Structure 1
Amino acid sequence: MKPLLAAGLLFMALCAPPALSANPATLYDTHCQACHGPGRMGAMAPALLPQSLERLRPAEVESVIRNGRPATQMAGFAGTLSDEDIRALAGYLAVPPSSLPDWSAADMAASYRVLVDPARLPPRPVHSANPQNLFVVVEAGDHHVTVLDGDRFRPVARFASHFALHGGPKFSPDGRFVYFASRDGWATQYDLYSLQVVADVRVGLNTRNLAVSSDGRWVLVGNTLPETLVLLDANGLRPVRTLPVRDREGRVSRVSAVYDAPPRKSFVVALKDVPELWEISYDPAAEPIYPGYVHDYKMGEGIAVPGYLNPRVTPLELVLDDFFFDPSYRHVIGASREGRAQVINLDIRRKVAELSLSGMPHLGSGITFVRDGRRYMATPNLKGGLLTVVDMESWQTVKDIVLPGAGFFLRSHENTPYAWADAMMSPRKDTLALIDKRTLEVARTLTLRPGKTNAHVEFTRDGRYALVSIMETPGELVVVDATTLREVAALPMMKPIGKYNVFNKVTRSEGTSH
């Protein structure tokens, strides 16, 4: 070949546009579908829908595709796919499918698994730890759960969970069973006596959370895809009933959250897209629900239905995205994403007060406490770096306490004078603020691991020790003496996003979320 021609061809090759990458849908079908299922609905691996991946930043999705995920079967594709293909595939996963997939009763029934006959479970714990002082630790870094002895601070068990558990597992009234909900729709029952999974069932494609009835009989799961509530038998998770979530005009709504209201023997349901509040009684003696309080499309608008396991509807002025209960469970304190907050009386089924809460309050992380004979609630602000204290008799804001930065979690205990707030959503993510509940001032700040996310405090049953998550991969669980504030233990963990003490949860401690 002549030198001039060779040089010309080389120039053309260097200047030519790169070869087009494969279509992202084709990439998915070739490399992902075998594990993650047709339509990205999940199979042996989790669903890859935007709702399921909402907690992962785009860069994290690309990293998992490129490098895989430790302690799972997810292999990395760095040697198989180009960076351009990986970016294209990550972008494809962030877009909803052209037609939303459905999850039918038949799909649910096919997914249902009983791993251990509940009738054959041992009557007593097979371990020596105090069952009332166990912690359940959710590790998001590699999708595992650790059961921790709260007296010795030693792991009792560790097991693989479904993908992206919701951070708030719920317990049976006696504390024996813990129930989990994963973002991609799985509900799981785990026995803390025998340390094994009892049953699980996939109730949807994207799940918000679940609640357990105070009589230990029911589990109610709220979904965002499909828009349903699913009622399960708590003893083995057998599906019992599916309720479509629609308002009076037939508009569909996702479920924002499901809560148990023990004194009322009912579930309370927050809706994400319509201004309604639902209460579902599990009291067999519940009074019938009359026109104006129910819409039941099978029976017809305005026809009275049994009060047992049917939704009683309270119309609202706005959509409430986050909830908090007063200790009597007569009042729901709810906030919209825009920061408006209201107090709803569940007995008379209407708003009784407006709250002055700036920014975006995180009521789901609120606490209550008594000061000078009066009951107060406190809630962190997801944007403003403030902790708002509200008098629960007058419903007036008493004080906005300035924190080191915007945080997510607030925790306390009856036996400590301090409320612990993190600043995990700010540049000072490594700083915890200890607010004196007597003076409503920041008494001191604490940094256990500089430069790392120090967050989500939970106390032992007696309030003597505070457990702090270092939310990193790898991370730690740091145990602090709640009086001296000295570190007494540290356990390696894989991004522990939350830990939950059995006793504090089942007794509804005023210092923790319910």
Structure 2
Amino acid sequence: MNWRIILTAATALLSLRYGGAWAATDANALYQTHCASCHGADRLGGAGPALLPGNLERLRRPDALKTISDGRMATQMPAFSAKLSADEIKQLAELIYTPPAVTPVWGLEQIRASRIEHVKPGSLPDKPVFKADPLNLFVVVELGDHHATIFDGDKLEPITRFPTRYALHGGPKFSPDGRYVYFASRDGWIAKYDIWNLKLVAEVRAGINARNLAVSSDGRFAMVANYLPHTLVVLDTRDLSPIKVIDVKDENGKSSRVSAVYDAGPRKSFVAALKDIPEVWELTYDEHAAPVYNGLVHDYKMAEGLAVPGPFPVRRIMLDDYLDDFFFDAGYDNMIGSSREGHSQVVNLNVRRKIANIDLPGMPHLGSGITWEYQGHPVMATPNLKEGEVTVIDMKTWQTVKHIKTLGPGFFMRSHENTPYAWVDVFNGSKDRDVIQIIDKQKLEVVAQLRPSPGKVAAHTEFTRDGKYALVSIWEMDGELVIYDARTLKEVKRIPMKKPSGKYNVYNKITRSAGTSH
């Protein structure tokens, strides 16, 4: 009797009878045997990243198959092609893109338990261990092998390179003095790194799927925006210990993912956009707004517009439409927001309502917006994720000044107070992704284009502290930083890197330069 044939036939019959449930059981068994030790029995992550659909947005299914089969270079992910059949690898790939049957819990208890203290607070020297200008440093995120580089903006050379968590997201944020940088990973891991001492200080997992983080203007707090669970998490920046987990719900109890959170420094508050309910939340950390207990804004009688008492009370702003991303004006009185459906509006944070609609077609990338003075008026310019154009808006009248046509949809736009140009990529284009276009900020037209590495994606320009040099990323595994003279547009130097996704100049960030994102 051929038991193999009988077993194969029985498996096929069970699969037909139960609509594939047998295959799912096989996939779970495969996962527990080969994956759970690194990625967690519940797929929430461990030494390896979480394997849930929301956390895998950047990994396409064909790439997931390849990763399981061949492993991932410069990580601990091994190749399974010698251990598993092609069908078993396919089953695993299907499993990790399937939502869990039970929504995972990640609250204050889990966050506290996850915290890792690498260095005791206050134990490191209060001066840099290097001779470079600490305010003209760059933090370069290299997604290719999950590292970051501290880069000297004067000598134009690396100082050190260190590993990061998988899939950093939302851009790092700095302490007000530029000493510390804070990273957020897609898996919700928040890391504090001491730039002056070149040391990782602490890590904590604030969520399962995080969008970004913001650091308060006084440097005391960090707030993390989560997709999963639907929370905002407040951390003490001294050691990344959690202060509060805020469930994000409307007045009827409907919960929402958080699209983004940013610091509104002049207002001493955080502002969050919500993905699933048409509201904006402002959360104060101003000690003068309420009585203080142990250094934190604490319980007090709710005033008008304050919906949640206690530390970091929520001030709700009701809207007619959802916001996915937003941008502040210079005074932080107004926020310009957009939805993925292309609806854009101006919300005044003082009167707590929409005050204008804006003509921003397609999908503007407001998180990459910049500002400058044009004919005596402040203007905002934003690239577009769907349309081949940069839109320039008058920030007094909220009218469109010009739609500047580009070679295709872009992602990043950058400038500096000391340059007449704005630099924009064609990152989302179907072609010409190797081009950086140069826009004259007074002529409002493309006046030059650069092709740093023909055939390779060029993206994310950032400037040195004085605006003298512009650094462009070649967004490939065998990538580079290509450094240009910002005045002559001539190439100066190239530094090999592994898919350098973004570069963040300390001075430009902490002074809230009009030419970069905040």
SS in 2 for 1:76: coil
Of residues 219, 224, 231, the one that matches 2:222 is 219
Aligned pairs for 1:13-162 within 5 A: 23-162=26-165
User: Which one is further off, 462-471 or 287-296?
Assistant: 287-296
Aligned pairs for 1:239-388 within 5 A: 239-286=242-289, 290=302, 293-296=305-308, 305=309, 309-388=312-391
**1:263-302 per-position Cα deviation (integer Å, ceiling 9, x unaligned):** 1011001111101110011111115774652333xxxxxx
Q: Which residue of 1 aligns with 2:20?
A: none
**1:317-366 per-position Cα deviation (integer Å, ceiling 9, x unaligned):** 11111100001000000001100100001011111110011111110000
Contact 2:307 2:313 in 1 (8 A): no
Which residues of structure 2 form unaligned runs of 5+?
16-22, 291-299
Alignment of 1:441 with 2:453, yes or no, is no
Structure 2 CA distance for aligned equivalents of residues 311 and 18 of structure 1: 55
Contact 2:468 2:486 in 1 (8 A): yes
Query: TM (normalized to structure 2)?
Result: 0.92
Aligned pairs for 1:176-215 within 5 A: 176-215=179-218
Shift of the alpha carbon at 1:94?
Answer: 1.2
Identity of aligned residues (%): 55
Q: Which residue of 2 aligns with 1:495?
A: 499
Q: Which residue identity lines up with residue 357 of structure 1 in the other structure?
A: L
User: Which one is further off, 113-122 or 132-141?
Assistant: 113-122
Of residues 422, 427, 430, the one that matches 2:434 is 430
**1:99-152 per-position Cα deviation (integer Å, ceiling 9, x unaligned):** 121113222111111111121111100011111011001111111111111111
Structure 2 CA distance for aligned equivalents of residues 394 and 428 of structure 1: 34
Shift of the alpha carbon at 1:17?
Answer: 13
Q: Which residue identity lines up with residue 280 of structure 2 in the other structure?
A: L
Count of equivalent residues: 492
Q: Which residue of 2 aligns with 1:484?
A: 488
**1:34-65 per-position Cα deviation (integer Å, ceiling 9, x unaligned):** 11011101111111111111112222212211
Q: Which residue of 1 aligns with 2:18?
A: none
Contact 2:144 2:477 in 1 (8 A): yes
RMSD: 1.9
Query: TM (normalized to structure 1)?
Result: 0.93
Q: Which residue identity lines up with residue 511 of structure 2 in the other structure?
A: T
Q: Which residue of 1 aligns with 2:408?
A: 405
Structure 2 CA distance for aligned equivalents of residues 148 and 341 of structure 1: 37
Contact 1:167 1:497 in 2 (8 A): no
Which residues of structure 1 form unaligned runs of 5+?
1-8, 297-304
User: Which one is further off, 500-509 or 139-148?
Assistant: 139-148
Q: Which residue identity lines up with residue 328 of structure 1 in the other structure?
A: G
Structure 2 CA distance for aligned equivalents of residues 289 and 327 of structure 1: 32
Structure 2 CA distance for aligned equivalents of residues 121 and 484 of structure 1: 42
**1:456-485 per-position Cα deviation (integer Å, ceiling 9, x unaligned):** 000001111111111111211111111122
